[in-house]
Each structure stands twice: as structure tokens, then as C-alpha cells.
Structure 1
Amino acid sequence: MIALSHDPSGGRLLASLRALREPPVLRAPVVARELRTPRLLLRPYRLTDVADWMRIEADARIRCGLGWPLRTEREALRHLRDRTRHVSLSVPGDLLVLAVERDGHVIGDVSLHLRTTAAETRTAEIGWLQLTSACGHGYATEAARAMLGLAFRELRAAIVTAVIDRTNETSAALAARLGFVAAHETGRRVTVVLTAVSAGIPEVPTARLRQGT
């Protein structure tokens, strides 16, 4: 066994190694809150959304587009419970999900995955889903634009990505409407990207970082 009994750098070496191992943490986490658009309310999921959530789980088009399995009622409830917990972004891998409510019912959701936190290249991945019965009214576009506003103005992302199944024409069309452009293709999946400039969102100051401890 090798033991390091003395660090001649006065601790700087260990601090540098720790910085490499631990991801940067946002100084101020982005916390889920209500967002209102002309027709929609975006808000964190609640367990009382169970009836609407079961309709989402039962929607074959959603399951096919996202590769979800057909879950039992108990599994679907657990999935909803997990979604209620995704309410902040602080370190890479964090997920924030907002239910999309119309006339008192949840018709889908939008989400942000924090991928990287370096201020110059901060990246988030957006996702969306919507009940088939709610398609064709522009709700998904409206909700996604609100979430992009959060990504660029509050998270201060430099880049937002989305991963689209090339067979999902509806999702691909939505990404195009939002201004995303194709950046990479892997089999059936296409990665599309968007910046604040191409989205028409004014530039915002860059968030400062602190190293996680």
C-alpha cells in the first residue's frame, strides 16, 4: 500500500485533484416555480395529478416516442412520484420537470436536464411530452418556449440541446419551429441545438460558479 504522508504543495495538489473529481456547482440553484403563458400554467408536478398522469402513461404515442414501457398502475404512480421530486438544477445530471396545465388538467410536461455547468459552455437538454388529444393547438410550442426562457434567462445556458427520434415527425417539427438545428446524428436519433441568440432571447450576464465541496 502507498500512503501520501506529505503534500509539498501545501494542499494545493489535493485541492486540484478534488476539483477535477467534483463537478462545478451553480452558485444559485435554479428552482422550479410557476410559469404562466397566455394559455398555460407550467408548475411542478403534484401527487394529486395522478388521474391526468395515468392518461399520459396510457397514451401509446407518448410511450412510443419516448421509449417508455407499458407500466402497471403501481409503477406509473412511482414514476409520477419521481417526477414530483425533480424541482431544481444545481449539478450536472440534475433534472427539472414542469407539468403543463390547461383548464385545470395536466396535458403534458417540459423538462430540463443540466448537462454541464461551466459558464462559457453551460448546456442543458430540453424534453417535452404532450397528450395526443391535446396536439394541434400549439400548446407544446408555447410550453417549450417558456422553458427555453428559463434555460437561457435563469439557468443562463449557453446552449440548449434536444434529442429527437427521426421517426417522430411531430417532435422534429416542434424543434424546427423553436429554431433548433441538427448537430449530430446517431442511428435513429438526431441531436439538435439552440442558442439564446438563435432563439431570439436577449443576452444575459453569465452566472458565477463555485466548486462543490
Structure 2
Amino acid sequence: MLLETHRLVLRRFRAEDAAPFAAYRSDPVVARYQGWTAPVPLDEAVRTVRGYAGGSPEEPGWFQYAVELKDDRCLIGDVGVCLHENLMQAEIGFTLAGDRQGHGYAAEAVRAVLGELFERRGLHRVSAECDERNIRSARLLLRLGFTREGLRREATWIKGEWTDDLLFGLLAAEWRPSHGA
């Protein structure tokens, strides 16, 4: 276990996570605004989970936290952090299984990761971006204290279309663990 909240455990991915990972990432609604295409085949999920399991949250680059419910040890999503080479800033992203959305789990998981980044590791800034049409993710970032910093018009070619990207940022001086509670 790397992080723990009232209802969640954020930990390294394990081999047995491949099937539930493939299941929630294969949901077209979950994949709609993400960089992958549904469905996610099990063999691809096995390779992805293996790669995630070998990452380090302390090293520059992407690290993916597996998000698990404490009560039933069920994998319900993931939170990714891309630590910059200077170790003072990072980008964050999150994915939650469709049937687990709307219960505050994403806010709880992202808040725990932000606490780790700002309070324990002393980062200066965390950024995030999302498709402009992904209203729920944008609202979550704002609830957690992020500031909308910009809009890149037709900046990403994905799934056969140009999409607009919303840009968000949160500084250590602005971080309040109670945001989004």
C-alpha cells in the first residue's frame, strides 16, 4: 500500500489487476475522453499492468496508482502522476470505473495523491488537462482547488477528431486538503 484514505487504498498494480483493469477501461463511456480505445483486450491489459507495477512514484515519468476499495479489495480505477525531471512539479490524471462514478471516489483518490505530492514530497505545482467536453472531470479538478489556466483549441487529434483541451494548475500555496470534501 502506498496511500490510504477512509474508503480507499492506493497501491502498486499487481498481476491480478489485469482483468478488472481491462473491464473498466473497456467501457466506452469511461474511454470516451481518454487516450485509449475500448475495448481493451486482456493481453494488452496484462502488459500494461506489468509495466505499471514496475514503475516508481519517486522517479521522473509516469507512475500509476491502482485505486482499490478498502472494504472488498476491488480495483475501481487508477490515478496517474507524471513527475517532472526537476522533481518539483507533476501532471495528474485519473480514471474510474463507470459503476463507481458519482460516489466521491475519484475526488478522494486524487486528493490523497495531491496530499502526498504537496505535503510529503514538497512539490511546487501539479497540472492536469482534460477534453473540454469532459465536464465531470473539469468540475472535479475545480472542486479540488485547481485553477482553469487555459484552453487549447483543437489541440489534440484523437479518435478521428480534433478536440479542445482544458488546462488546469494547482500550486502548493493554494493546496488545501479539505477542497472537494
TM, length-normalised to structure 1: 0.72
CA shift for structure 1 position 116? 4.2
CA contact (8 A) 1:57 1:76 kept: no
CA shift for structure 1 position 147? 0.2
Other-structure match for 2:10: 42
Query: Over the residues paired in the alignment, what is the CA RMSD in angstroms?
Result: 1.6
**Larger relative strand fraction:** 2
Q: Match for 1:156 among 107, 110, 122?
A: 122
1:97 aligns with 2:64: yes
Counterparts of 1:86 and 1:56, CA distance in 2: 21
Q: Match for 2:50 among 75, 78, 81?
A: 81
SS, match of residue 104 in structure 1: coil
Other-structure match for 1:123: 89
Q: How many residues align?
A: 164
SS, match of residue 33 in structure 2: helix
Counterparts of 1:53 and 1:95, CA distance in 2: 17
Counterparts of 2:18 and 2:59, CA distance in 1: 27
Deviation readout 1:113-135 (Å, 9 max, x if unpaired): 012416xxx21001111001001
Deviation readout 1:78-132 (Å, 9 max, x if unpaired): 12222212233323xx1221111012111001121012416xxx21001111001
1:189 aligns with 2:165: yes
* Residue ranges of structure 2 left out of the alignment (5+ in a row): 154-163
Larger Rg belongs to: 1
Q: Which amino acid aligns with 1:35?
A: L
Higher RCO (C-alpha under 8 Å, 6+ residues apart):
1
1:147 aligns with 2:123: no
Deviates further, 180-189 or 69-78: 69-78
TM, length-normalised to structure 2: 0.84
Q: 4+ residue stretches of structure 1 with deviation over 4 A?
A: none
Percent identity over paired residues? 33
CA contact (8 A) 1:44 1:87 kept: no
**Larger relative helix fraction:** 1
